[in-house]
Amino acid sequence: MKHRVFAWILVLILALTPVLAIAEGDEPEPTASTEPSSSPSTEPSAPPSEEPTASPTAEPTSSPTAEPTASPTTAPTASPTTQPTAAPSTPEPTEESSDPLKIDTYWKYPGMDKSYAGGYMPVQANGSVQFIMPLLGKTQGNTIRVVPEFPSDGPFAPSNLQFDVYEKTYDVTQGKDDKTGKMDAYLIQFNAPLKSTYYNGTYTVTLHVTYKTPAGEPAEQTFNMQVQVTGGKTPSSGGGGGGQAAIKKPIILIDACTISPTVVSGGDTVSFQLSLKNVGNREAKNIRISIAPESDALTLKSDLNAQFLDKLLVNATFDADFVLSVAPGAQEGDIVVQTIITYEDAYGGAYTEEGKYRIRITQPKVEIVSCVYNEVVSGGDDFTATLTIQNTGTRDAKNVVVRYTSEDEAIRKKGIQDSVTIGELRKGESTTVTFDLHALPSASEGRHAMDFLCTYADTVSTGTYSDSTHYELTIYQKASIGYDEIKLPESITSGETFVLPICVFNTGFSPLYNVRGVLSVDGLICSSAYLGNIKPQDSVVKDLSIFVTTLSGGSKYGDTWGSFQLYYEDENGEQQSIYQELKCSILEPQKQTDEEKLKQEQEQKEQQTLSQWWISLLVAIAVIIILIAVILIARFARMMRMK
């Protein structure tokens, strides 16, 4: 009650103070109210009329009209007019369309007794001559048109022969041992019947081949085939015509190819000799003899890969000599050497003769033929790789060393030595070496590489060689989990609620899945904490809200025991768990005495009185503000009437 009286006295004092001041004539100066009204009408109006109007009219009118018009009129028109017109002149279509067909001189096809490199000639039998020519290359539609042209005074009966040949796959052979293979080729085959009367001799049949390139361009090539015809008249007894007199061109054939030695090893030199003969009836001019090994293991010792001859008379011979070097590290096997002879006749006609020959390279060939190891290991594990090393070559090897050369940091060689020395390994022999390896504990899961290198030398020549082998294995990481130890309060009062933080961290290098914590303690109620999936080297925190009840046994209060279990799954889906025992004491809630209840009621009443006092004070302040506003409005109205 005292508080209310004091509040009303304070309100009356505050309310009467401005009323007394107004009654005594203390009015505000009228000039103070006019200056603020004049300032907003002049100064603020100037900036809006200058800056806003200048900025929009200057920048937008200049920048938009310059840049947008320049960009569309230059860049777009230049791009369409240059690129589309330049694209058709790119070199790719031109090179593809100019790639000519070639005679396959290496393989022997069905119906042929020899390959072209081995000296194939058309076969005369049963009054006709069988011609076979295999061509290699690409055409549009995989087809070519063939028109044979026979010499007008030759032994062949007149015919208008022309036919199409399609690309097919043929079983082919090569060499004395008839090495087999398959080739896609245009196999030209036809029979030319002989006249009833003809002259013996060597004749040339020209094949005109027309086709379209893969780019669709028309192309035409001519191929010449020589045939030795027998069983007819000789030129001396026949009274002219036929025979060699019918051939009006030079014909250079490879009589022989001498290779010495035919079997070589790394570091050796090879003598390569071509014996040429002009079997035509015209001299050959501007002769060029060139050879081209089809592997870098063979190189010419001379700077030039060709020899030149001004002319070769009829029935004359010429030997072209070349010297080849075998690379010290040349691998064992056959290397093909291609020979190309180009020449002209007296009228500028051009001719080509091609051939292919093989040089056998032998050497020790030490290989890593097998490797035995655990294909799946765990991070941190040690394991052994056992390699079988075998000399599958034709000569003995020396200085054989096997090294572990993998750059994969997940797998390390144990110890400081990364190589094993074998020494000498005879041809056909094999041995085993072992490497002790270690998968790093921090290795990422997945496939990892193991690389081994075997180096060795030839016991005969200066050749040095190497063989590398690549293997892979899988590394997986075991699941590893940790957590902050759960600690319950020593004593808890029944009816209370408290929060228990759960902190779980992944200490391994593989993910953890479906991580959840379960608290099982009699007298404590809470839901399980689901922490989800945890990445390697990551952690998750979850709060458990726990409500304390009473014990389930005969006694409601006292000591209680239970556990906290942490469940999770590894990458294989196997569930694992961690178990921790817990203990705490549940206390009975304390009862309130009469004195404590009385004291609590008095405190509530005082709190309520204090709240009412503040409400009264706020009401008084509001009344004062209203009175002041009414007085000011009245004074202002009186001043307006006086003016």
Tell me how far apart the alpha carbons of residues 146 and 149 are, in angstroms, rounded to a whole number: 10
Name the pTM for this structure.
0.41
pLDDT single digits (tens) 300-355: 987 778 899 999 999 899 999 999 998 887 877 888 888 999 999 888 888 888 88
* Amino acid sitting at position 130: Q
Diameter of the chain by CA atoms?
167
Residues 6+ apart with CB under 8 A from 620: 7, 8, 10, 11, 14, 15
pLDDT in the model for residue 208: 87
What fold does the segment set 252-361 form as a domain? Immunoglobulin-like (2.60.40)
Only one residue has tokens 């004395």, namely 176
DSSP-based three-state secondary structure for 40:
helix
Would residue 436 be called left, alpha or beta, if left means φ above 0 and alpha means ψ between -120 and 50 degrees?
A: beta
pLDDT of residue 305: 81
Number of neighbours of residue 15 by Cβ within 10 angstroms = 17
Q: Can you give the residue ranges of every domain in the chain? A: 102-246, 252-361, 366-476, 481-587
Q: Which fold has domain 366-476?
A: Immunoglobulin-like (2.60.40)
Residues of the chain with pLDDT under 50: 18-97, 237-247
Q: Assess whether the region 252-361 and the region 481-587 belong to the same CATH fold.
A: yes
Q: What pLDDT, on the 0 to 100 scale, is given for residue 19?
A: 44
| Run of H or E residues at 264 | strand 263-264
Domain 481-587 has CATH 2.60.40.10: yes
Q: Evaluate whether 311 touches 284 at the Cβ level (below 8 Å).
A: yes
Given 3.40.50, 1.10.760, 3.40.390, 2.60.40, which CATH number is that of 102-246?
Answer: 2.60.40
Q: What is the pLDDT of residues 465-504, one digit of tens each?
A: 888 999 999 988 888 888 888 888 999 998 889 999 999 9
Residue 126 burial (10 A CB sphere; 0-12, 13-18, 19+): exposed
3-state SS of the chain: helix, strand, coil percent to 5? 25, 45, 30
Per DSSP, the chain holds a count of helices (H) and strands (E) of 6, 36
Q: Helix, strand, or coil here: 530?
A: strand
